[in-house]
Amino acid sequence: MMLNWQPTQFLLAGIIYLILSLPFFFGSACIGMVLLQFPDRVDRLYFFDLFGSGISALGSIFMMYIIPPAQNLTLVTAIGFCSVVVTNLDNKRTKNRKTIVCHLTFALFFTIFFLLNPISIVVSPYKRLSSTLNFPDAKVQSTRYSPLGLLQVVKSASIRAVPGLSLSSQHSIPPQLGLFTDADAMTTITEFDGDLSKLAYLDDT
C-alpha cells in the first residue's frame, strides 16, 4: 500500500535486493573458481562447502538466542574477516605477515568499534510498534529475541485491543500491555487479578 503514495519505494526495494544479492554472487563466484582450479576434488569441495553452510546455519540459530539481532550483523562480518585471515595463512605468495596483520587489525578495530557503537534497527514508521510508541506514556518494558522473532512488551494507558468487540459493549476493559512480534502483529496481555467480573467484556465479542 505504501507504493501508492511513495513511488520511490520501488527504487529502494530494487537497491535492497541488489545489495542482498551481492554475497550470493561473490560466494558462488568463489565456489566456481575453486571447482575450476581443482576439478579432481569436486566431491571433497562439495562436502566441505555444504558442511560449512550447515555449521553456519546452526551457529546463526544458536547465536540468535543470546545476541541481539543488530549485533548478529557485526558478528557475521567479523567472522568474514577472520575467514580471509585463515585463507591467507597458507598463501605461499605472501612474502611476509604484513597482509595477515593488516586483516587482523582491521577486523579487531571493526569489531571493537561496533561493540562500543552498536548498530540500531530502524523500525518502519508504518508498523504498529512505531505508532504505539507515539503515545505520550508509552515505553518498552521488556525485549526478548530468538530465531522466531523479536518480542517487545509495551506499556501504555492508551493500549486497549479486543478484536471483535461489539461497539455496543458497556463493559470496561482492564489495563493491557501490548506484545509486538517484529514490531508488528500486536497482541495484548490483559491484567487479571482473579475477579472474573472484570472479564465480562469478553461476552460482547
CA separation for the pair 175, 155 (Å, rounded) = 9
Whether 177 is in a domain gets the answer: yes
Q: Could you tell me if 184 and 85 lie in one domain? A: no
Nearest Cα to Cα of residue 131 among 83, 171, 186, 79: 186
Distance CA 127, CA 154 (A): 14
Read off the amino acid at residue 118.
P
Assigned domain for 12 exists: yes
Name the residue range of residue 185's domain.
Answer: 128-204
Q: What is the reported pLDDT for 3?
A: 65
Rounded to an integer, what distance in angstroms lies between the CA atom of residue 23 and that of residue 44? Answer: 23
Cβ pair 3, 9 in contact under 8 A: yes
- For residues 145 and 165, state if they share a domain: yes
**Co-location of 12 and 88 in the same domain:** yes
pLDDT band at 129 (very low <50, low <70, confident <90, very high): very high
Summarised one tens digit per residue, pLDDT across range 4-62 is 677 787 888 889 999 999 988 988 888 888 888 888 888 888 888 889 889 988 988 99
Same domain, 65 and 111: yes
Q: Mark whether 108 and 145 lie in a shared domain.
A: no
Q: Are residues 102 and 37 both part of a single domain?
A: yes
Answer yes or no: do 45 and 111 share one domain.
yes
Which pLDDT belongs to residue 181? Answer: 93
Residues in the chain, overall count: 205
pTM of the model: 0.70
CA atoms within 13 A on the CB side of 162: 19
User: Are 99 and 67 found together in one domain?
Assistant: yes
Using CA atoms, how far apart are residues 31 and 42, in angstroms rounded to an integer? 10
**In terms of domains, do 58 and 144 share one?**
no
User: What is the rounded distance in angstroms from the CA atom of residue 174 to the CA atom of residue 158?
Assistant: 11
Higher pLDDT, 187 or 2: 187
**Can you tell me the distance from the alpha carbon of 141 to that of 129, in angstroms, rounded to the nearest whole number?**
13
64-68, 106-110, 176-180, 197-201: range with highest mean pLDDT: 176-180
Residues 140 and 192 in one domain: yes
Residues 132 and 55 in one domain: no
Domain stops at, among 116, 149, 168:
116
Let me know if residue 3 belongs to a domain: no
Compute how many other C-beta atoms are within 10 angstroms of the C-beta atom of residue 25.
10
Q: How many domains does the chain have?
A: 2
Considering only CA atoms, give the Rg of the chain. Answer: 25
- 74 and 152 belong to one structural domain: no
